Chains A and B, each alone.
Chain A
Amino acid sequence: MSELPGDLLYTNDHEWLRREDDGSVTVGVTDHAQAALGDLVYVELPEVGLEVDIGGDMAVVESVKAASDVYAPIDGTITAINEELADDPERINADPYGDGWIVKLQPSGAIDESELLSPEAYQSLLDEEDA
């Protein structure tokens, strides 16, 4: 059973996002995703300032057995990247919702929450995948 905080929004691609007080959005991959990937060995991060469109490639997380793209969950601009991941990608395995965050985005407009999943909706996605 993977951990699934109730105060986050989720995507079909097993990413999470947290709306911060300053209007920015923090993005990472879910506990389920890190467990499925296994021990991460490398994270390819975008440049700060990069503009991304929803669904576009943003980063790559690579484990000993797979490499997986991290997609932009919203339209926006990259305002920060988790540089610690360069030397310590396993932070994503250890703390996917905390120290293992990947990027911060400044949304380019209002966030369309209908494109995203609530914790309950994401849980049912996981249940379906297990079934």
Chain B
Amino acid sequence: MPFIPHTEDDTREMLAAIGAPDLDALFDEIPADLLINSLDGVPAAMSEMEITRLMRRRAARDGAPLCFIGAGAYEHHIPQAVWDIATRGEFYSAYTPYQAEASQGTLQTIYEYQTMITELTGLDVSNASLYDGASALAEAALMAVRTNRKNKSGRILLAPGVNPTYEMVALAIAGSQGITFERVPMDGVTGNADMSFNDEEAPVALVIQQPAFPGTLEDVDRLTNWAHERGTLVIAIVNPISLALLKAPGHWGEDGADIACGEGQPLGVPLSSGGPYFGFMTCKHKHVRQMPGRIVGRTTDLDGEPGFTLTLQAREQHIRRSKATSNICTNQGLMVTAATIYMSLLGFEGLRQIALRSLQATTRLVAGLTTIDGVSRLFEGPHFHEVAVQLNRPVAPVLGALAARDILGGYDLSGSHPSFEDALLVCATETKTDADIDAYVAAVAEIFAEERGHSA
């Protein structure tokens, strides 16, 4: 997109044309007590040289440890071509292209992305993406409330496997809008939802995460049918890579999930201290009017030639103002471009190979870990690329000892649920070789043996 600068004269002329004395006058409507004039805690400016040195030093501290942490963001191999193509000038923008006549390439990329995500999730329509997986859940909850208008309860039920961070984000975004989030009790044996609880009032929606946060596989068909029997909508949170092996949300139960969302990061976006990642969202066609965010459509122009354009914009805030479906009208354009290239390069068979290889790696990891005295599986049953193991001792010191061996040993589940005390969530993707896994198992065995030695 061409850059058009403006000079001080241009600015003066524009201000004069609208009768504003200076740029600050454009923000007059913001009450003075809401303006922040100084940012406490933000250090003084540094020169480029200083900041480069500081950041290099900090980045070096990361090192290149072997990473066995998942819990929502996953390390996958990203083919070199993905970011080489994504950072070309033609694609290198985070923004939605409004001007169809100047943005056909970007619009087509988003359109292809939408097509791929709808195929993965088995649903009819996708938006152009959202900020991240957690905020996508918040948007899905708000969307469910708008869609299921007959239900005035504002109650969203969360299966026990919903990522606790997602719950916190959803509550922060949607909690002040009369929406409550309640957890379905957990079956202590399987880790799945215990639907035998006494639920008198039908909730607006039931949120089901697959694979569940502690790595278990939820009985999604049963839960979906349970919800639909009550006129309750089903929101699926899914890992896109897992969908190469697991049933797509659109096929859950008799009628399929109504909305699917999740974290798109595993599709070609590197782990980078929490972001930028991207959220995805798809839904059944009948719910599309309530879907937030941008949607790119394929159409024909005046000459009958195919082309791409933003569509269904009347849902959006620049047209509907305060009645918009969402005030999040942006997307994570650059991340989506990378994901689209990633999926194009791999194809469905490639995704399946990655999913299978990750499953095998995790299976080997768990088999190895559970040979150690004091390590067992928290829940039996099938899993994807993440499993919770129960340790016979606190997790944090073990993770500390592993870190000293340059291994990020997993996610400490202690505190995230009463029955997860001393439980560790481990993940091995296709990036982990048999040697990596064996090294990790050997390190844990060594740490356990050392501690036994100390206490003896």
**Could you tell me if A67 and B150 are in contact, using CB atoms closer than 8 angstroms?**
no
**Could you tell me if B323 and A47 are in contact, using CB atoms closer than 8 angstroms?**
no
Interface residues in B, total, Cβ within 8 A: 8
Residue of A nearest to B146 (CB): A44
**Could you tell me if A67 and B320 are in contact, using CB atoms closer than 8 angstroms?**
yes
**Could you tell me if B323 and A67 are in contact, using CB atoms closer than 8 angstroms?**
yes
Q: Which of A60, A62, A63, A69 has the most CB of B within 10 A?
A: A62
**Could you tell me if A66 and B323 are in contact, using CB atoms closer than 8 angstroms?**
no
Question: Which residues of B (150-206) have their CB < 8 Å from a CB of A?
Answer: 150
A-side contacts of B315, CB under 8 Å = 67
Would you give the 0/1 interface string for A68-96, flagging 1 where the beta carbon is closer than 8 Å to chain B? 01000000000000000000000000000
Question: Which residues of B (260-315) have their CB < 8 Å from a CB of A?
Answer: 289, 314-315
**Could you tell me if B289 and A42 are in contact, using CB atoms closer than 8 angstroms?**
yes
| Distance in Å: Cβ of B150 to nearest Cβ of chain A | 7
B-side contacts of A62, CB under 8 Å = 289, 314
How far does the alpha carbon of A47 sit from the alpha carbon of B289 in the complex, in Å? 17
B319 on the A face (CB < 8 A): yes
B-side contacts of A66, CB under 8 Å = 314, 319
How far does the alpha carbon of A65 sit from the alpha carbon of B149 in the complex, in Å? 25
Question: Which residues of A (1-58) have their CB < 8 Å from a CB of B?
Answer: 41-42, 44, 47
**Could you tell me if B314 and A47 are in contact, using CB atoms closer than 8 angstroms?**
no
B-side contacts of A44, CB under 8 Å = 289
A-side contacts of B323, CB under 8 Å = 60, 67, 69
Would you give the 0/1 interface string for B133-151, flagging 1 where the beta carbon is closer than 8 Å to chain A? 0000000000000000110
B-side contacts of A64, CB under 8 Å = 314
A-side contacts of B319, CB under 8 Å = 65-67
How far does the alpha carbon of A22 sit from the alpha carbon of B149 in the complex, in Å? 29
Residue of A nearest to B314 (CB): A67
Residue of B nearest to A57 (CB): B323
Using known A-B contacts A42-B289, A62-B314, A66-B314, determine if residue A47 contacts B149 with beta carbons closer than 8 Å: yes
Give the interface SS of chain B, mostly helix, strand, loop or mixed.
Answer: helix
How far does the alpha carbon of A42 sit from the alpha carbon of B319 in the complex, in Å? 15
B-side contacts of A47, CB under 8 Å = 149-150
A-side contacts of B314, CB under 8 Å = 41-42, 62-67
How far does the alpha carbon of A62 sit from the alpha carbon of B316 in the complex, in Å? 12
Residue of B nearest to A42 (CB): B289
How far does the alpha carbon of A41 sit from the alpha carbon of B149 in the complex, in Å? 21
How far does the alpha carbon of A44 sit from the alpha carbon of B315 in the complex, in Å? 11
How far does the alpha carbon of A47 sit from the alpha carbon of B149 in the complex, in Å? 9
How far does the alpha carbon of A42 sit from the alpha carbon of B323 in the complex, in Å? 15
Residue of A nearest to B320 (CB): A67
B-side contacts of A41, CB under 8 Å = 314
How far does the alpha carbon of A42 sit from the alpha carbon of B362 in the complex, in Å? 48
A-side contacts of B320, CB under 8 Å = 67
Residue of B nearest to A62 (CB): B314
Question: Which residues of B (314-368) have their CB < 8 Å from a CB of A?
Answer: 314-315, 319-320, 323
How far does the alpha carbon of A41 sit from the alpha carbon of B52 in the complex, in Å? 53
How far does the alpha carbon of A69 sit from the alpha carbon of B359 in the complex, in Å? 51
A-side contacts of B150, CB under 8 Å = 47
How far does the alpha carbon of A64 sit from the alpha carbon of B319 in the complex, in Å? 11
How far does the alpha carbon of A44 sit from the alpha carbon of B288 in the complex, in Å? 12
B-side contacts of A42, CB under 8 Å = 289, 314
Residue of A nearest to B288 (CB): A42
| Distance in Å: Cβ of A48 to nearest Cβ of chain B | 11
How far does the alpha carbon of A60 sit from the alpha carbon of B323 in the complex, in Å? 10
Residues in chain A within 8 A of chain B (CB atoms): 41-42, 44, 47, 60, 62-67, 69
Given A47-B149, A65-B314, A67-B319, output 15 extra A-B contacts at Cβ < 8 Å.
A41-B314, A42-B314, A44-B289, A47-B150, A60-B323, A62-B289, A63-B314, A64-B314, A65-B319, A66-B319, A67-B314, A67-B315, A67-B320, A67-B323, A69-B323
Which 3 A-B pairs have CB atoms at the shortest separation, nearest pair first? Answer: A67-B314, A62-B314, A67-B320
Q: Identify 8 residue pairs between A and B in the complex whose beta-carbon atoms are under 8 Å apart, listed by A's number.
A: A42-B314, A44-B289, A47-B149, A60-B323, A66-B314, A67-B315, A67-B320, A67-B323
